[in-house]
Amino acid sequence: MKKLILCAAFAASLGLSGCATSPSKPLTFDQLGKFSTTPLNAQTYRISFQAIPNMSYGTAEEITLLKAAQATVQNGFQFFKVNDDPSNRTQQPPRKAVVYPTPMPYPYGYYRRHPAFWPDPFYDMPQVVTLDPVQVSYTIECYKNQKTAPQDAFDARLILQSLGSKYGLSATGEVLPAPTQPNEAKKE
């Protein structure tokens, strides 16, 4: 009887944990954060990106580079150069802080020191929290062909072909529709 109750409790916990770990729907390119493209003149643009919470600085830089390639192609250019302006040199990765959990009241602490108590190994684990949202901005100068572009210019079409599918963009810079989940395909 005792084994039957333990097996039922174990099966119930597995069933409930399976529901809690279902994957979320993937984000489209436009849902990764806030983008802005500001034309400064006929071939110079300011590309800015503010990321969603918990995105790394390196990923935000990669997405901003992809957005720069998208803006380049959509404005009729093929190559772009990221200008080394003062705003790029002063950009720092976002500030992070270590947060420790709040200690429990006295009885919990008393029983925690008792030899028969099995402590939670993950309770006292500190967490690293990002304090500032990740923001990346580039000033780019666009060029029609490779003859007029400097040697260190990026090929926007090559960037869109190589990185575009990772973030939901086509090779022409168009936003692809979000992939459907297997459960959603059955509903339709």
Stated pTM of the model: 0.66
Whether 140 contacts 72, CB under 8 Å: yes
d(C-alpha 71, C-alpha 103), whole Å: 50
Per-residue pLDDT of the chain (188 residues; tens, 9 = 90+): 777 677 676 666 666 665 555 566 777 788 889 999 999 999 999 999 998 877 888 888 899 999 999 999 999 999 999 986 555 555 666 677 888 776 655 555 555 555 555 555 566 677 777 777 788 888 999 999 999 999 989 999 999 999 988 888 888 888 887 666 555 555 54
User: What pLDDT is recorded for position 58?
Assistant: 83
User: What pLDDT is recorded for position 89?
Assistant: 56
| Residue whose C-alpha is closest to residue 34's, from 6, 5, 55, 4 | 55
User: What pLDDT is recorded for position 179?
Assistant: 62
d(C-alpha 142, C-alpha 145), whole Å: 9
SS3 percent helix, strand, coil of the chain, rounded to 5, is 35, 20, 40
**What is the SS3 assignment for 64?**
helix
In terms of DSSP H, where are the helices of the chain? 2-20, 57-74, 86-89, 106-112, 156-167, 182-187
User: What pLDDT is recorded for position 41?
Assistant: 94
User: What pLDDT is recorded for position 56?
Assistant: 80
